[in-house]
């Protein structure tokens, strides 16, 4: 679905929203970016995470990190995170 149909007013993310991300050249950046995208999706605000991380929803480079988060979500019984991670990996 087009983002134009998701939010009123055509806003695309909140540039003021802060995510706890390491510097982009840090080896842990991609893992943190994957977590930020999933956390933001839980709140219905993936656009802000996309702005902050530079990655779009479904970015294949983040798949190994999302798979790890999916496994953890299944272990913890977090059905919503399982749903979001599976959707990311499609």
Phi, psi of 48 (to 5 degrees): -65, -40
Q: How far apart are CA 42 and CA 49, in angstroms?
A: 11
Q: What is the pLDDT of residues 35-54, one digit of tens each?
A: 999 999 999 999 999 999 99
Neighbour count for residue 64 (Cβ, 10 Å): 12
Indicate the pTM of the whole model.
0.81
Question: In which band, very low, low, confident or very high, does the pLDDT at 16 lie, cut at 50, 70 and 90?
Answer: low
Q: What is the pLDDT of residues 44-81, one digit of tens each?
A: 999 999 999 999 999 999 999 999 999 999 999 999 99
Residue 3: is its pLDDT beyond 60?
Answer: no
Question: In which band, very low, low, confident or very high, does the pLDDT at 12 lie, cut at 50, 70 and 90?
Answer: low
Neighbour count for residue 74 (Cβ, 10 Å): 14
């Amino acid at each position: 679905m087009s983002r134009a149909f998701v939010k009123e007013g055509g806003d695309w993310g909140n540039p003021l929203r802060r995510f706890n991300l390491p510097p982009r050249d840090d080896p842990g950046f991609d893992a943190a970016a994957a977590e930020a995208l999933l956390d933001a999706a839980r709140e219905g605000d993936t656009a802000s995470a996309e702005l902050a991380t530079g990655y779009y929803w479904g970015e294949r480079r983040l798949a190994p990190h999302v798979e790890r988060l999916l496994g953890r979500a299944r272990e913890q019984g977090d059905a919503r995170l399982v749903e979001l991670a599976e959707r990311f990996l499609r």
